Structure 1
Amino acid sequence: MATTSAPHDTHSGWLGFAGVLAVLLGVFNVIDGLVALFNHHYFVNASGHLLVFSYTAWGWIWLILGIIQIAVGAGVLAGQTWARAAGVLFAALVMIGQFAFLAAYPVWSVITIVLAILVIYGLISAPHGARG
């Protein structure tokens, strides 16, 4: 008698959640980058300067990082294994960058850091081989 196994469900709700959040976080970072590039007076802290870079460099960094995050989020949603590792890496970079941004907009930075933490959790909590 032949035995058949039940189909193995490889979909993970956490990966879908992390993929959507990664795309959303990427869109937020693209907006941050564009604002820093085109409106230098918007992101002013008490000292009138950014912590590390000029507004132009800051804008390009966030714009490029945001575009990469959107691509990584789409990769996670498509079930690509490389996107899970890249998603963790880029979410961690976003958290580091937002710590440097705390002086200018603390509430926005904390919200973005929390979203990045949720992305990382969603990407690492799903079982091996799961798809979004």
Structure 2
Amino acid sequence: MASNVNQPQAAGTRSGGSSFTAQSGWIVFAAIMMIFSGAMAILEGISAIAKDDLFVRTTNYTFQFNLTSWGWIHLILGIIVLLAGCALFSGALWARAVGVILVGLSLIANFMWVPYNPFWAIVLIAIDIFVIYALCTPARSGTSTARS
């Protein structure tokens, strides 16, 4: 009875014997940051659509677009990024691939958003870079073996 108390379980099994995929810390971090980034993009989009004169843009910037259209772009992209962040908790490989693509698009959109809200755009760009790194990091096994 006491012989099996301190023995670790095999990787990928629970006490019931069913297999599961363990989420790495990077994937959980990426999922939470994608949900956060998506929610912030949704708020950016709503504020750009509702109050078109709220943002002050710099003059002579290379990318000059209508602020209302940027609001719709951020709103739609934010909803999709938020949903992809929720899908990452399932552990599916497709969710990681879709996450990298969507966060890359979010990174580009935030780069082009710099003249309207520079500080927040740079913060979201940094978050997007960390999320892409987290999604591209290979999952490691939870057990370690000693080398002889």
Task: Please give the TM-score of this superposition, normalised by the length of structure 2.
Answer: 0.76
Identity value in percent:
33
Indicate the residue corresponding to 1:78 in structure 2: 90
State the 4+ residue runs in structure 1 displaced beyond 4 angstroms: none
RMSD: 2.4
Indicate the residue corresponding to 2:118 in structure 1: 106
Look up the SS of the partner of 2:59 in the other structure. Answer: coil
Structure with a larger share of its residues in helix: 1
1:6 pairs with 2:20: no
Asked which structure has the greater CA Rg, the reply is 2
Cα deviation for residue 49 of structure 1 reads 8.7
Indicate the residue corresponding to 2:128 in structure 1: 116
Aligned partner letter, 2:51? N
What whole-Å deviation, never above 9, does each CA across 1:7-54 have from its counterpart, x for those lacking one? 237320100000000000000000010011001112221339993421
Q: Which has the higher contact order (CA 8 A, sep 6+)?
A: 1
For residues 141 and 88 of structure 2, the distance between their equivalents in structure 1, rounded to whole angstroms, comes to 12
For residues 109 and 141 of structure 2, the distance between their equivalents in structure 1, rounded to whole angstroms, comes to 30
For residues 140 and 77 of structure 2, the distance between their equivalents in structure 1, rounded to whole angstroms, comes to 26
For residues 48 and 117 of structure 1, the distance between their equivalents in structure 2, rounded to whole angstroms, comes to 27
1:44 pairs with 2:68: no
The structure-2 alpha-carbon separation of the partners of 1:54 and 1:85, relative to structure 1 and needing over 3 Å to count, comes to: same
Q: Which runs of 5+ in 2 are unaligned?
A: 1-8, 13-20, 143-148
The structure-2 alpha-carbon separation of the partners of 1:29 and 1:109, relative to structure 1 and needing over 3 Å to count, comes to: same
For residues 50 and 40 of structure 1, the distance between their equivalents in structure 2, rounded to whole angstroms, comes to 20
